[in-house]
Amino acid sequence: MEPSNRLETLLERLRARGLRLTPQRLAIVRALVNHPGHPSVEQLHQEILPDFPTTSLATVYKTVHLLKSQGEVLELAFGEQGSRFDGLRPRPHPHLICTRCGAIMDPAGDGPEALEALAAELAQRAGFSVSSHRFDIFGLCPACRG
Amino acid sequence: MEPSNRLETLLERLRARGLRLTPQRLAIVRALVNHPGHPSVEQLHQEILPDFPTTSLATVYKTVHLLKSQGEVLELAFGEQGSRFDGLRPRPHPHLICTRCGAIMDPAGDGPEALEALAAELAQRAGFSVSSHRFDIFGLCPACRG
DNA sequence: TTCCGTGCAAAGAGTTTGCATCTGT
DNA sequence: ACAGATGCAAACTCTTTGCACGGAA
């Protein structure tokens, strides 16, 4: 498999901070980047186990948060079940979330601009300074609509 | 204190379902309605304790979820700390969330229409059907910008 | 009188933390 | 060699659940 730019970017971030590239971290980062569908910690862990059977859940948590703290991973936290992570597009953008199968998709075409503008406008009126935002759209994915 | 329409609406919902209006429920509903700032379960509980010192957290959870299941309360779940609730405006609308003091505000002027439209457009392109949505804007409130 | 609601305590789920051991650099 | 990472298990937070007692209707 040819290394994606994204993978290299993430690894570079770690190296730049003088952090160690352990086999576990490499596997986690790879899983994160290869996963188009916003994986959970549990999913990442499962994907890694075949190659590194002793990897603990704690390590996955630590690594993912490490990357998040460097702004390279977006965390989508939910109250109920666990968080889901986006290692491909770390900047805030809308998400389509299927309430039946749990799929999380990035809208095509994209256009965080409209969102950004809306956030800025609402915040300004209230005297808020914006640091981030999140827009989740809940519904049924094409496969789950009858 | 003069009973707000909102309070009456909530109580009516409970009555309509043949549910009992216990003193605890009344107190919880009142606290929910009088609270402009999206209270947590813990906060509601604290506000009620002076009047009903034996009220348990479990009861607050149950009551709040009861109202939520009837569409009369909006739950804002977060991954980290606990959920916050809006008993005044149960329909989806944007929220301004201060990352320093935790305040949650409803933008003035309002305009869920733009959001609604954006959600519909993004969903349609992906073949999603929309059932709900959520837009959180994170930043610093006027008081916390120093 | 009848259920429904309450309160307590125990159970759960997801996440984090402490610490001894191991390992990349 | 040494700072940093790992893995295990215990701890934590928020929330839910089971069950016997109590109270609204």
Summarize the confidence of residues B36-59 as an average pLDDT.
95
CB atoms within 10 A of CB A67: 23
Residue A36 has pLDDT above 70, yes or no: yes
CA pair distance A141, B1, nearest whole angstrom: 47
CB-CB contact of A3 with A30 (8 Å): no
Q: b or e along B81-107 (b: 16 or more beta carbons within 10 Å of the residue's beta carbon)?
A: eebbbbbbebebbbbbbbeeeebbbbb
CATH 1.10.10.10 residue spans of chain A: 3-86
DSSP state letter for A49: T
A145 CB inside 7 Å of strand D: no
Report the CATH fold assignment for B3-86: Arc Repressor Mutant, subunit A (1.10.10)
Closest Cβ opposite residue B128 in set A79, A96, A128: A96
Task: Check residue A4 and give its pLDDT.
Answer: 64
Predicted confidence band of residue A39 (pLDDT cuts 50, 70, 90): very high
Summarize the confidence of residues A115-137 as an average pLDDT.
94
Whether A133 and B132 lie within 8 Å, measured CB to CB: no
Least confident of A5-9, A106-110, B110-114, B119-123: B110-114
Query: Which two three-digit tokens encode residue B106?
Result: 């409803």
Task: Check residue B4 and give its pLDDT.
Answer: 64
CATH 3.30.1490.190 residue spans of chain A: 95-145
- Put simply, whether B20 touches A (Cβ < 8 Å) is no
Let me know if A48 is exposed, middle or buried by CB neighbors in 10 A (0-12, 13-18, 19+): buried
Q: What is the pTM of this model?
A: 0.92
Q: CA angle at residue B86 from B33 to B43, to 5 degrees?
A: 75
Model pLDDT for residues A2-24, shown as the tens digit of each residue:
556 899 989 998 998 999 999 99
Of all residues in chain B, the percent with pLDDT exceeding 90 is: 79
Task: Check residue B63 and give its pLDDT.
Answer: 97
Model pLDDT for residues B89-117, shown as the tens digit of each residue:
999 999 999 999 999 999 986 667 788 99
Whether A77 and B75 lie within 8 Å, measured CB to CB: no
CATH class of domain segment(s) A95-145: alpha beta
Task: Check residue A3 and give its pLDDT.
Answer: 56
B24 CB inside 7 Å of strand C: yes
Nucleotides of C under 7 A from a protein CB: 4-10, 13-18, 23-25
Task: Check residue B26 and give its pLDDT.
Answer: 96
Summarize the confidence of residues B31-54 as an average pLDDT.
95
Closest Cβ opposite residue B139 in set A78, A131, A142: A131
CA pair distance A7, B43, nearest whole angstrom: 44
Residue A77 has pLDDT above 80, yes or no: yes
- Put simply, whether A139 touches B (Cβ < 8 Å) is yes
